[in-house]
């Protein structure tokens, strides 16, 4: 009898704790959607913002009062849909097509943004494309070239284009979306790491070079995020969530929150920083 009662108590306790954790996660996920005026009136250019993480960053920036210039490479309809969503929520945004790997196209895009809004206060380099993983035998020379083009060349193109604009304004903010993986050295991800590793190095060097011009350069490193490709109810996802100190996957909005901090006046004395938005996973491997 005592054994049966003990088993019932254990089951009830487990059920209660599971419900409590679900409520806690919902509470924190709702909390990341709050709005403020932290970016009120600031013009923010987000590359690769037609979908996924870039679109989420754009929406979060708009929620905090920013005017968002949404860059897209080829997905014009999706970019316009993000604009419509922001405008429906009372924000301001406009889509701009440009291949960020092409310097001339980037210069033309930046000129168009300035013509429309008069300034650019912040730049978020999020665009990425091509193959991301695969073994050394599977990956091609083109795969590595593409990774480097997005991770390094595109960053240089966009920063060079916005730099004179920011100088005229007395400063600005640059954020590069890197990865938690760059210091974990995962197997079969050398293509992805070629691009993101280059981006980390470029970010740190530019932070020193542009600091005297009051242009800050910081990095946001996403952890494992929930998106349309992730089935959070699968056993694999559940087991992975258990390996994260906060015991849950992150959301793209939470990456956007990290960007908002660096774009805001709160981060005026922060440059060259690496912000891991990983639920604490970075503590398992160090910096």
Query: Catalytic residues, which ones?
Result: 192
∠ at Cα 238 (236, 244), nearest 5°? 105
Q: Quick one: residue 52, left, alpha or beta (phi over 0 = left, psi -120 to 50 = alpha)?
A: left
Residues in Cβ contact with 112 at an 8 Å cutoff, skipping those fewer than 6 apart: 96
């Amino acid at each position: 009898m005592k054994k049966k009662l003990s088993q019932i108590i254990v089951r009830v306790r487990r059920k209660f704790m599971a419900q409590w954790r679900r409520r806690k996660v919902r509470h924190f996920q709702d909390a990341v959607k709050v709005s403020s005026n932290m970016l009120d009136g600031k013009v923010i250019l987000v590359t690769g913002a037609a979908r996924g993480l870039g679109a989420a960053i754009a929406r979060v920036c708009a929620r905090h009062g920013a005017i968002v210039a949404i860059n897209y490479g080829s997905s014009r309809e999706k970019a316009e849909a993000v604009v419509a969503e922001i405008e429906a929520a009372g924000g301001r945004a406009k889509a701009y097509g440009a291949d960020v790997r092409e310097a001339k196209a980037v210069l033309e895009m930046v000129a168009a943004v300035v013509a429309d809004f008069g300034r650019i206060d912040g730049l978020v380099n999020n665009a990425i494309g091509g193959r991301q993983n695969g073994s050394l035998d599977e990956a091609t020379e083109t795969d590595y070239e593409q990774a480097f083009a997005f991770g390094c060349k595109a960053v240089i193109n966009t920063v060079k284009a916005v730099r004179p604009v920011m100088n005229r304004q007395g400063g600005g903010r640059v954020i590069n979306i890197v990865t938690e993986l760059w210091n974990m050295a995962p197997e079969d991800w050398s293509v992805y790491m070629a691009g993101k590793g280059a981006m980390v190095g470029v970010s740190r060097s530019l932070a020193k070079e542009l600091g005297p011009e009051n242009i800050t350069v910081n990095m946001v490193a996403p952890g494992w995020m929930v998106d349309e490709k992730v089935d959070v109810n699968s056993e694999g996802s559940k087991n992975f969530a258990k390996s994260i100190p906060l015991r849950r996957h992150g959301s793209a909005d939470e990456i956007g929150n990290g960007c908002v901090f660096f774009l805001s006046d709160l981060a005026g004395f922060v440059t060259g920083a690496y912000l891991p938005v990983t639920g604490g996973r970075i503590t398992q491997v160090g910096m």
